[in-house]
Structure 1
Amino acid sequence: MTSSELSLVAAIALVCLLTVLGGIYGLRLSRTTSDFYVAGRAVGPWRNASAIGGEYLSAASFLGVAGLLYASGVSMLWFPVGYTLGYVVLACMVAAPLRRSGAYTVPDFAELRLESRAMRLLTSVLVVLIGWLYLLPQLHGAGIAVTNLTGAPSWVGNVLVSTVVTINVVSGGMRSVTLVQAVQYWVKLAAIAIPALVLIGLWVASGSPAPTMPTPVSLQGVGMHTYSTYSLILALCLGTMGLPHVVVRFYTNPDGRGARRTALAVIGLLGAFYLFPPIYAVLGRVYLPELPPGMLAEEIVLELPHLAAPGLLGDCLVVVLAVGAFAAFLSTASGLAVAITGVVDQDIIRPRLNRMLGSDVDGIASFRLAALVSMLIPSIIALLVGRVGLATTVGLAFAVAASTLCPLIVLGVWWRGLSVTGAAAGMIVGAATSLLGVAVTLSQVPVPQPWALWFAQPAAWSVPMAFFTACLVSLATPGRVPTHTLRTMTRLHTPENVSLSLTRRGGV
């Protein structure tokens, strides 16, 4: 192994070690079930925003966005904007009401709003499926990074990330993860910004030619390109509020006002980060106009320093990028693991243990067991699934979230007429249509156009079908509207200071 490879291995090991130490430190702070699930509901807006930035900026953000821009050109510059725009929608529509619900997880919200245990179970299944689907690109990206940087088999990256994340979540739950993710956002920002600025300086100093970006879409392909663009925009805008690891973050704020301020802060933090992936795409076209056979576009970020600055400087820049990339894998996977673990624990592990033992089991012990199960299954799936683009897989996860959990949350927060039957029908239709696209795309079965595009970008038709079905069935089943809907809606939309004032006066 060369000295360059040894330094990369040391950098990756350092990131993993610091993540584990952060989890162990969090163990000192986590004493109650609330600490493990929602960090005691005591996370301030800026720290929570940093933690959200840490978990949201995933493998697709660190490697995939640059790869997509490299492969498709400036016509995809809206992609990082779409990632950020989802938080604008979330802040305006659901951030504060979700926090006021007092729920721990999305299934908690479903049961509170619809007063149905069956809806809770259906929501739990979808949360786990979406979480696992979003975990796949993190594990796959870790495999790409390990292979590209050290030459080790891709499964090593999968196992490494899974192990570190499991230790972190088991140690202190949400409180540990919040601490680690808040730091990792700033690590990722520095890791992507510093090499980008250095590479720009080298490019300007060398007098290298201007980049040759891909040819714009021809008129013959405009229709398909337009469909793909708007379908993905819809998935990113509405899917953000349905991602389980994003939604659960707003339950950690002290109140609804803090949740809304957190969402606004996140927009600024994400905007700062997304200034830099396009730089790697453009400079990649300067130093590597065409991808060699077998090389993925996502790998351009890690290859670019060696192409622009062979030698010690290039090695140092790659080390910095490796630190940021692994911070991205670990941070996002940790947030997903906590969200999935909370659902698996509450709705699968703990009820069965209680029945088996005939008494209530310790909540922290069952949470830790659920964490092991939650990470083991997606790790195995990641080893079996073939090579699929990071941006593609993440886009599918957003599409499924937008087609299932988004209608539940939006209609649950804003429409009194939502019935249990309507909510269930909308979620089932959204899940069936979007997961069909996932199955066809991930299986890589040859499908003729335009069907292949419709399956790869299902949000344009799956999201409207889900909302339309939920509304139509709800209107047809008014008797299935929950009894205490008005009381619940009042709780969701009444600011905490007003509620406290009314309580003191005996008004509620």
Structure 2
Amino acid sequence: MNTTIWSLAGIGAVALVTFLLGYVGSRKANTTPDFLVARRSVPATRNAAAISGEYLSAASFLGVAGLVLKDGIDALWYPIGFTAGYLALLLFVAAPLRRSGAYTLPDFAEARLGSTNLRHFCTFFVVCIGVLYLVPQLQSAGLTLTTITGLPSWIGALAVTVIVVVNVLGGGMRAITLVQAFQYWGKLFAIAAPTFVLFVVFLASPSQGTQPIDDNGVMRFPKSEVVEIKESVRLRVTEPMTLRAEGTVDGAPANGSVYWREGRYEIGPNTKLSFTAGSPVPVVDGAPPNNDSWMRPQVGGIWNLFETYSLIFATFLGTMGLPHVLVRFYTNPDGKAARRTALHVLYLLGLFYLFPTVLGVLSRLYLPRLLVNGKTDAAVLMLPEAMVPNLGGQILGAIIAAGAFAAFLSTSSGLVVSVAGVVSTDIMPGKVRDFRWATVFTGMVAIGLALLLPRSDASLTVAMSFALAASTFCPLLVLGIWWRGLTWVGAVCGMIIGGGAVITAYALSVVSSYTGHWAPGVFTQPALITVPIAFLTMIVVSKATRRRRPQDVNQILLRLHAPDPLGFIKDRDIARFGTAEEKARLAESKPRGSTRSL
């Protein structure tokens, strides 16, 4: 009960600060540029903190530690890829994207290639990526609330949705910039402070409360343990054992003592498994069965190697295609500030990811039951009380819970702004009223999908979003910025084939989760195939349709790459969103006969 009170107090404090900061940031928001790009006036250091706060989502705060707990050293590619993606963004995309003067990714695509058809396709994929990324944030919020209070998961998802929508309605990008910058430092404290304390506790008594490991590296329960299986899982047993089961095992009812030989067993939902002290720990199928394989990379053969390289492709290249990340670079004053922002983000993310990695390793020692029920995303939330079963552990758990909610709120805010901005400007007239309606619509769709779709590891779901971004916007941006030969026909074909392949793979993975988990790893990590196909398609089709190149491609590329002091940067949509003074200056500077404005 005390744990619940402390955690709810921490979550309430985060929600209150979020509202207050959102109110402060929204007081001067009254025009479309305020809502979309904060009037392009955000300094590099603040923008870097805001991007980091937005980027460190449920996959980072909860999922990375959970994957380290379950998958071991192979899971380290997630934080490496999440961080290293900003190096590619820094080198190839950040400054030219800002110099384009666009407001959204579809706006950039039309500015570069002069096609409204391409803009419509980009709008579709922005919405898909944004919603696909938003769903695990809401589901993880539900998991967090259920873990600390026992309340239904939909309450946590709904609470995050309401807070985010209200904040974004107030001031869009202006409102959330200050919120996200503050929440980065809040999240860093919320994960760093407990990590230091728990690591000191472990060093003081490394054998107290940890699970014993035999000479073969097999994990064993340190004491009698009852594990509740809420959702069906498939367990792998490495040696014979006796336990008590109440529920469903391999499709048959079970209520009493059962004997398991080495093999795999299907455990139905709402099943209780009771283990005696010293029993081997069964693990979710696909996870390393013992500590020896957990500490060695690439023990799963060729398919495991394929999934690793596919993950690297998705995270490293997908970062430069995430709409909610890229839209923040439009808020910088110029290209130099955008590049400096990306550099600062590398420092901030590298610092943060040290801590969930340590917590994942500690969870392996203190929370073996999570390897049985598959709820490894809850490891960060449960570890403090498992290691410090007193008031200190409750306070540490409350700090982590508050940081987790800050992660959900900041990432969800950025996603809602990016999707609402695209919907309001590309589907609706683009006024402030349209942005607000689009915000409400985005929130309703996201909460609906979060409640309907099955919950998986947050990092795995987010990695699919990265794969979709890497297979659509990454080739569009890289080729559009650095290759004059790209045409809008090639861009559309590449996005359809690359993005369509990822969406198909994800749909098959969802179906597989309901029908026996038959889908191979290529469906859960398809980027190694889909990204090269998308690049190749864009190049081949563009060469075949070279007559569709924009006539002013040289001028466009000059604007993207010219140094900022030369003064080529101009807002693309001043005619739609600018003030009367800006529109008058645009009319005076626009040459007669010009039919296109960047």
CA distance in 2, matches of 1:31, 1:495: 31
Match of 1:260 in 2: 339
1:250 to 324, 329, 332: 329
Look up the match of 2:48: 49
How far 1:499 sits from its partner (Å)?
3.4
SS of match in other structure, 1:215 = helix
The range that moved more, 109-118 or 16-25, is: 16-25
Aligned-partner Cα distance in 1 for 2:297–2:327: 43
Q: Which residue of 2 aligns with 1:357?
A: none
- Of 346, 355, 360, 2:425 maps to 346
- Structure showing greater radius of gyration is 2
Q: Show the counterpart of 2:413.
A: 334
State the shift of 1:433 in Å.
0.6
Q: 1:278 aligns with which of 352, 357, 368?
A: 357
Secondary structure of 1:104's partner?
coil
Distance in 2 separating the partners of 1:409 and 1:447: 38
Deviation at 1:218, TM superposition (A): 8.9
- Opposite residue 161 of structure 1, the aligned amino acid is V
Measure how far apart 1:208 and its partner are: 2.2
- State the distance in 1 between where 2:541 and 2:298 align: 41
Q: For 1:260 and 1:498, how far apart are their aligned partners in 2?
A: 17
Structure-1 separation of matches of 2:495 and 2:206:
55
Aligned match of 1:413 in 481, 488, 512? 481
User: What is residue 308 of structure 1 aligned with on the other side?
Assistant: 387
Measure how far apart 1:35 and its partner are: 1.1
Contact 1:72 1:214 in 2 (8 A): no
Tell me the distance in 1 between the aligned counterparts of 2:374 and 2:77: 24
Tell me the alpha carbon deviations over residues 70-106 of structure 1, each in whole angstroms, 9 at most, x when there is no partner. 0011232232111100000000001000000000100
Q: Give how far 1:290 is off.
A: 4.4
Query: Would the aligned equivalents of 2:562 and 2:568 in 1 still touch at CA under 8 Å?
Result: no
Matched ranges for 1:187-226 at <5 A:
187-208=186-207, 213=291, 215-216=293-294, 221-226=300-305
**C-alpha contact (below 8 Å) 1:70/1:285 kept by paired residues:** yes
Residue segments in structure 1 that go unaligned for 5+ positions in a row: 352-362
Deviations 1:12-64 (A, max 9, x none): 12211211222222221213211111011011111000000000000000000
Which one of 432, 454, 467 corresponds to residue 522 of structure 2?
A: 454
Partner of 1:6: 5
Contact 2:74 / 2:297 at 8 angstroms: preserved in 1? Answer: no
What's the secondary structure of 2:81's corresponding residue?
helix
Structure richer in strand, relative to its length: 2
Matching residue of 1:137: 136
Q: 3-state SS of the aligned residue for 2:101? A: coil
Counterpart Cα distance in 2 of 1:47 and 1:473? 41
Secondary structure of the residue that 2:427 maps to in structure 1? helix
5 Å-filtered alignment, 1:405-484, equals 405-443=473-511, 444-446=513-515, 452-484=520-552
| Cα distance, 1:288 vs structure 2 | 2.1
Deviation at 1:422, TM superposition (A): 0.5
| Aligned-residue offset at 1:484 | 1.5
Change over 3 Å in CA distance of 1:130–1:218 after alignment to 2: closer
Q: Find out whether 1:100 has 2:168 as its counterpart.
A: no
Look up the match of 1:120: 119
CA distance in structure 1 between the partners assigned to 2:292 and 2:329 by the alignment: 40
Letter in 1 for 2:170: S
Residues 239 and 398 of structure 1 are in contact (CA less than 8 Å); yes or no, is this contact kept in structure 2? yes
SS at match of 1:322: helix
| Corresponding residue of 2:459 | 391
Structure-2 change in CA distance of 1:459 and 1:372 (3 Å): same
Judging by fraction of residues, say which structure has more helix. 1
User: Residue 187 of structure 1: CA displacement?
Assistant: 0.1
What is the identity, as a one-letter code, of the residue corresponding to 1:80?
A: P
Q: Give the match for residue 356 of structure 1.
A: none
1:287 paired to 2:366:
yes
Counterpart of 1:320 in structure 2 is 399
SS at match of 1:152: coil
Task: Kindly provide the amino acid, as one letter, of the partner of residue 308 in structure 1.
Answer: M
Count of matched residue positions in the alignment of Structure 1 and Structure 2: 490
Classify 1:282/1:110 alpha carbon distance in 2 versus 1 (closer, same or farther; 3 Å).
Answer: same
After TM superposition, give the deviation of residue 446 of structure 1 in Å.
Answer: 4.5
2:202 is aligned with what amino acid? W
SS in 1 for 2:354: coil
User: What is the correspondence of 1:31-110 to structure 2 with a 5 Å cutoff?
Assistant: 31-110=30-109
1:298, CA displacement in angstroms? 0.8
Alpha-carbon distance in structure 2 between the residues aligned to 1:157 and 1:490? 48
Q: 1:300 corresponds to which letter in structure 2? A: A
Q: Aligned with 2:370: secondary structure?
A: coil
1:202-229, CA deviations, whole angstroms, 9 ceiling, x for partnerless residues?
A: 1111232788646246987221111111
Judging changes above 3 Å, is the alpha-carbon distance between structure 1 residues 343 and 218 closer, same or farther for their aligned structure 2 residues?
closer
| SS at structure 1 position matched to 2:490 | helix
Q: Which piece of structure 1 moves more, 304-313 or 291-300?
A: 291-300
1:214/1:246 Cα in 2 relative to 1: closer, same or farther (>3 Å)? farther
Structure 2 match to 1:229 = 308
Amino acid at match of 1:175: R
8 Å Cα contact 2:157-2:447 kept in structure 1: yes
CA–CA distance in 2 between the matches of 1:146 and 1:442? 24
Give the 3-state SS of the residue equivalent to 1:29 in structure 2.
Answer: coil
Structure 2 residue matching 1:30: 3-state secondary structure: coil
Per-residue Cα deviation, 1:373-415 (whole angstroms, up to 9, x for no partner): 1111011011000121111100000000000111111111011
Say if 1:11 and 1:323, in contact at 8 Å, map to a contact too: yes
Aligned residue type for 1:401: A
User: C-alpha displacement at 1:7, in angstroms?
Assistant: 2.1
Q: What are the superposed Cα offsets for residues 332-359 of structure 1, whole Å, 9 maximum, x if unpaired?
A: 00000100010010112327xxxxxxxx
* Residues 1:23 and 2:22 aligned together: yes
Match of 1:359 in 2: none
Cα 1:478–1:245 change in 2 (3 A) is: same
Q: Distance in 1 between matches of 2:346 and 2:381?
A: 26
Rounded Cα–Cα distance in structure 2 between residues aligned with 1:313 and 1:220 = 39
Q: Structure 1 residues 198, 205: CA separation in 2 closer, same or farther (over 3 Å shift)?
A: same
- Residue 276 of structure 1 aligns to a residue in which SS? helix
Query: Aligned with 1:221: secondary structure?
Result: coil
